[in-house]
Structure formats: C-alpha cells, structure tokens
Amino acid sequence: MRERIAAGTGVLLFAVLQFPGSNDDRDMRFAMKSVLGAEAELVWHGDEELPRSTEAVLLPGGFSYGDYLRTGAMARFSPIVAAVTRFAERGGPVLGTCNGFQILCESGLLPGALLRNHQLHFICDFVHLRVENSVVPFSSRAAVGDVLHIPIKHGEGAYTVAPEELERMESEGQVLLRYCNAAGEVTPEANPNGSVANIAGIVNARGNVFGLMPHPEHAVEAGIGGTDGIVLLGSLLDAARAGGVA
C-alpha cells in the first residue's frame, strides 16, 4: 500500500515522489530522514498538489511505468509532475536522480535527453565524479575539482544535447558533474555510458533544478559504499534550511 502525507504540516519537508515502478523512493527518504535528519515523506504520482510545507522535491530512480515508450516518457504526464513544474517555476529546488533525471528531461525542466548506454547493456558500478561547479543548492558542500565516489545503475544514461545547447550550458556553468577517473581526469575511459562531454549531472539555467544519473542516496553510509552522496544531498538540505533558492 502506498504511503501518503497530509498537506500543510508546517515543517521543513522534502517531498520524495513515488511512481509505479519507482525503486529508490524509500532509499531517498531514508537518506534524507534517517541519515541527514530532515523531514522527508513520499508523495504519490497521482496527487495533483505538493504538500504546502514542501521545501524541495526529489524525483528518485527506478523504472516509472516500466520504462514503456521511453524512460520517463509516461511519468512526465503524471499529475504530480505538473505540480513540480509549478514549484520549479517559483524557484523551488528540484533534484532528480537516474529515472528522476530522465523525467526532468522529458518534462522540459532540463535540456537534453538520456539515451541507451553506448555498449547497450545495463551498468551497475561505482564511478568517480568531478565537481565542476560549487553552487547553491546542490553542490555547495563541495569545492570545484573535488572527486566524489558514487554508484550508478542504469541502462539508458547516455546524456545527449544539441552542440549549440551544450556550448551555451558550458558557458553558463550548467554542468555540475562529469565522469572522471580517481585522479579527477576527465577521459573517454572514465565515461561509463557514452554521455556527451562526460556529463553526469546538470542544472537548468536558473540553477534550481538538478538532474544526475548517479545515486547519491546509495552513498550515505560508510559501511555501504561510502558517504560522498551526503555532499550533494546535504547541500540541498543546507539550502532548504536557509530558505531555498527562489
């Protein structure tokens, strides 16, 4: 049975969206609630509004609607995505990981698209990520050039965007994370899926919507893969406590 929350609770709230096929929604809630100590609850895809106390929205990984048609293509039409769009247009912070990134691209909240991995098979592994920009609200706990160690698990994670759009994004600092080796070198060998320019995570032009293929929620415990995910999720928590980015 899906879990629900009441709107208007008056507390700092991270709304973790839940679609049919989501499989990282509870992991994301655990990371925010049990590890970072934030109020985080699940919000069903069929709801038409976010709770009034929402300070940030998290779109988790998984296989929304079984990835039929294209990854994220059906979830993009869920009622809650319209509410997320309104929230983002007001400047509210939105973070999408893996399938969440795919949904953000499908919905037009982020530029580009995610295609099949270049070797055409599913990847489940840890990767290194170089922080390209240290910005509020998503990477303020990091310094430019820091290397994070965070897992990926996807079959369609090759980020692509038109060359002229990529040039604009690069010039405006919209690339937040790139796949790299342990020394922080961005090389073709360090690119696990064929993403253009080794891109692992981007923000929109306004800077309040962030999508990435790696899973920071799976890197929040020292005994299970390390804690580098806290750098990204903790940055979002800091921004929410400070009043967001609107």
- pLDDT tens profile 163-222: 999 999 999 999 999 999 999 999 999 999 999 999 999 999 999 999 999 999 999 999
- The type of residue at 229 is G
Q: How many CB atoms lie within 10 A of CB 108?
A: 10
Residues 25, 60: contact at Cβ < 8 Å? yes
**Alpha-carbon distance 147 to 132, whole Å?**
10
CATH homologous superfamily of 13-241: Class I glutamine amidotransferase (GATase) domain (3.40.50.880)
Residues 104, 61: contact at Cβ < 8 Å? no
Q: Where are the domains of the chain?
A: 13-241
Tokens at residue 2, please?
């899906």
pLDDT, residue 4, reads: 36
Q: What does each C-alpha distance from 85 to 49, 195, 200 come to in angstroms?
A: 11, 26, 22
Residues 210, 138: contact at Cβ < 8 Å? yes
**Alpha-carbon distance 143 to 98, whole Å?**
23
Radius of gyration of the chain (CA): 16
Q: Which is nearest to 98 in space by CA: 117, 81, 83, 82?
A: 117
Tokens at residue 25, please?
């929604």
Q: Which is nearest to 235 in space by CA: 28, 104, 90, 93?
A: 93
Instruction: Please list the alpha-helical segments (H only) found in the chain.
Output: 25-30, 79-89, 99-106, 163-171, 229-241
pLDDT, residue 12, reads: 67
Provide, rounded to the nearest whole percent, the portion of the chain with pLDDT above 90: 83
The model's pLDDT over 33-81, given as tens digits with 9 standing for 90+, comes to 999 999 999 999 999 999 988 999 999 999 887 777 778 778 888 999 9
List 94's β-bridge partners, or say none.
57, 209
pLDDT, residue 29, reads: 97
Instruction: Please list the alpha-helical segments (H only) found in 98-145.
Output: 99-106
Supply the pTM of this predicted model.
0.91
7 has a pLDDT exceeding 80: no
Catalytic residue set: 98, 215, 217
